Amino acid sequence: MSQPTRQPGAIDRPQLRDLRLDAEMDRVGFVVVPRAARPVLRSLRRVHRQLVGVVPPGFEATLYSDDAVLKSRVHVELLGVLQPLIDELFANHRPLLMNFVTKGRSDAGVMPAHQDWTFVDERHAASWNMWVPLVDVDHRNGAMSLLPGGHRVPFTIRGTETDNPFRSIEAEASARMIEVPMAAGDILVHDHRVLHGSPPNRRRRARVVVGCALLSAGTDVIHHRRIGSGVMERYHLEERFFTEHTFGALGFPESARLVDSIEFENPVLGESDLPSQVLP
């Protein structure tokens, strides 16, 4: 049974071809690429209209659906639209899963501050989220807020039944997050380690966003499930896992292969673990 710790040295991650943006990504943990997806907005909206349609109140994501056919069609159609753009913007990349993330008008649509799942071995690699709003977003309809420098907090593992390492400092961490208003067709890229969240949509128009995980080209996809105090199972995932698995289901499909058990418990982070003031 192994014990993971972060290793020194270069991190295997996707790269932005714009070197200035790539350096900002490394420094802050997130970056906005203005207007990058505007040429394909009409096509993205068409895919949503044809495959998803009406947006229900509150937060929804096709990733969380139990309809494997829908999740697969959404991924294929969105990838067909966005692949040329992704290839233009990124090097050393592998798009993992395309999905729609929506908020209908409701006070119940808050997405609390959180880190995303661990998709790669973060001892020596990093994965990113690409977030593309199909409408203008601000505080009234669910713009993203993020913690600058949040990719540099102590090593954590996020997966099924894992503890929230920010639980004792949620208020302080949230107070340090900054909101990022965006125009339709801007692209936000953030490291999956960065704490982020969003308020509910209080506008009449639905907030529709395309989300996609980005890994480096040759990186294995992994997932962890906490099975007891200080013990986690480690799985290697095939890409079809994300269309076959229903989020929250107890069991995993065959596309998740158990490879190891590890001794690890997420740290309980304190204020001293938060990044120093980083200005985007």
Mean pLDDT of all residues in 250-263:
94
**In the predicted model, is pLDDT for residue 179 greater than 90?**
yes
Average pLDDT for 238-267: 93
For residues 251 and 91, what is the distance between their CA atoms, to the nearest angstrom?
35
> Please, what is the Cα angle at 180 between 219 and 102, to 5 degrees?
70
Going from N- to C-terminal start, the domains of the chain cover 15-273
| Cα R_g (the chain), whole angstroms | 18
pLDDT per position as a tens digit, 139-166: 999 999 999 999 999 999 999 999 999 9
Q: Which of 4-13, 123-132, 242-251 has the lowest mean pLDDT?
A: 4-13
> Is pLDDT above 50 for 272?
yes
Q: What is the mean pLDDT of the chain?
A: 94
Mean pLDDT on 21-47: 97
pLDDT value at residue 7: 47
Distances (CA, A) of 168 to 35, 111, 173, 268, 273: 38, 18, 10, 7, 12
Read off the pLDDT of each residue in 127-132 and give the average, rounded to a whole number: 98
C-alpha span between 278 and 275 (Å, rounded): 7
Q: What are the pLDDT digits (tens) for 193-251?
A: 999 999 999 999 999 999 999 999 989 999 999 999 999 999 999 999 999 999 888 89
Residue with tokens 């207007």: 35
The CATH H-level superfamily of 15-273 is q2cbj1_9rhob like domain (2.60.120.620)
Q: Contact 135/208 with Cβ under 8 angstroms?
A: yes
pTM attached to this predicted model: 0.94
pLDDT (tens digit, 9 = 90+) per residue, 69-105? 999 999 999 999 999 999 999 999 999 999 999 999 9
At a CB cut-off of 8 Å and minimum separation 6, what does 22 contact? Answer: 15, 16
| Token representation of residue 198 | 């969003």
pLDDT of res. 8: 46
Are 197 and 178 a contacting pair, CB within 8 Å? no
